[in-house]
Structure 1
């Protein structure tokens, strides 16, 4: 897969290394000459230029990339790059970094964003996920459909513990996608029984989260 990353700072470089290790082709774009240092990540392609300028993106052949990641430290830049990638180059998947939580409401499909990643939100969610048993913890926003990846850890006494997946009475617009049990990741098939301590991962609309908790825990 071909992935273009706008922003060659610490975040962009870390993403690039991970993607390269997984066998993807990576292009890093940055307008700061001191950040465009190919020796830092030899396997990546590099381009010096402003990713907010259409001409630079045309020269980079952005229309040939399956994914664009806007990972700069400036939310305005990330929004502009996302919008250009989606509207001018029809990139299938656009991922944008949110630096300031107060700007999160802007990172929607209206700005070309398919997935918005807020580092403060992710860190907070991981803390909550570690300590909040029995609550719905929002892990990740899937912006194109306005849905979220949420997690519920089943406490002792949850009424669905011992119940088969097919017998769960889930609200509409909430889908169980995985069960994490100890070191195992389990596909939620019909006869699979739930156990106390299971971490259940759902894709759900925000307005269904309260009903989801009631269906699983109460």
Structure 2
């Protein structure tokens, strides 16, 4: 894939390096030229410019990008970059970094954001996941589909123990996408039985999260 990353701070450079390792073509842009001279990202196309300007995005060829990542340390800039990428260049997938959790409500399709990533929210989710067996923990919000990726860990006394996936009725519009068990990722085929301690990854809209918790606790 061709990915354009706006913001070459610590976060932006780390994203670029990970994408390069995975074999993607990465273009990195930042207003500050010194970030490239002080810590260049080998293998990435590096440009100096303000990604909030149409002329800069046009020069980068953003219209040919598969993914735009707005990863600056400024929420206002990330929103502008996202909106321009989506409305002016029709980038199919726009991912934006949320620096201040109070601004998270802005990061939706109105601003061209398909996926908003809030580091504080992710950390809180990981903490909650560690202590909230049986509770639904929201990991990521998918703006385009109006759904969330949530995690729920089956308690030791779960009524789902031994029951095959195909015999468990999940809430409408909720989809079980993976089961994490002892370091393994298990595809939830209909005949795969649930076990206590399984971590279920589910895509579901917010309004059915309570129903999902009932399925886990009541069967």
Do the aligned partners of residues 39 and 152 (structure 1) sit closer, same or farther apart at CA in structure 2, a change above 3 Å counting?
Answer: closer
**After TM superposition, what 4+ stretches of structure 1 lie above 3 angstroms from structure 2?**
none
Q: Which residue of 2 aligns with 1:201?
A: 201
Q: Which residue of 2 aligns with 1:153?
A: 153
Kindly report which structure 2 residues correspond to 1:119-130, keeping only aligned pairs within 5 A, or say none. Answer: 119-130=119-130
Give the structure-1-normalised TM-score. Answer: 0.98
Choose 184-193 or 26-35, whichever is displaced more: 26-35
Deviation at 1:145, TM superposition (A): 1.4
Q: Which residue of 2 aligns with 1:16?
A: 16
Deviation at 1:165, TM superposition (A): 0.4
Deviation at 1:132, TM superposition (A): 1.2
Q: Which residue of 1 aligns with 2:31?
A: 31
CA contact (8 A) 1:164 1:192 kept: yes
CA contact (8 A) 1:38 1:46 kept: no
Q: Which residue of 1 aligns with 2:67?
A: 67
Distance 1:127 1:54 in 2: 40
Distance 1:104 1:4 in 2: 22
Q: Which residue of 1 aligns with 2:182?
A: 182
Aligned length: 218
Give the structure-2-normalised TM-score. Answer: 0.97
Deviation at 1:71, TM superposition (A): 0.1
Over aligned residues, Cα RMSD in angstroms? 1.0
Deviation at 1:199, TM superposition (A): 0.5
Distance 1:104 1:39 in 2: 30
Q: Indicate the SS of the match to 1:177.
A: strand
Distance 2:39 2:212 in 1: 49
Deviation at 1:186, TM superposition (A): 0.5
Q: Which residue of 1 aligns with 2:46?
A: 46
CA contact (8 A) 1:31 1:50 kept: yes
Do the aligned partners of residues 160 and 140 (structure 1) sit closer, same or farther apart at CA in structure 2, a change above 3 Å counting?
Answer: same
Kindly report which structure 2 residues correspond to 1:167-178, keeping only aligned pairs within 5 A, or say none. Answer: 167-178=167-178
CA contact (8 A) 1:38 1:44 kept: no
Tell me, which stretches of 5 or more residues in structure 2 are unaligned?
none
Distance 1:79 1:184 in 2: 37
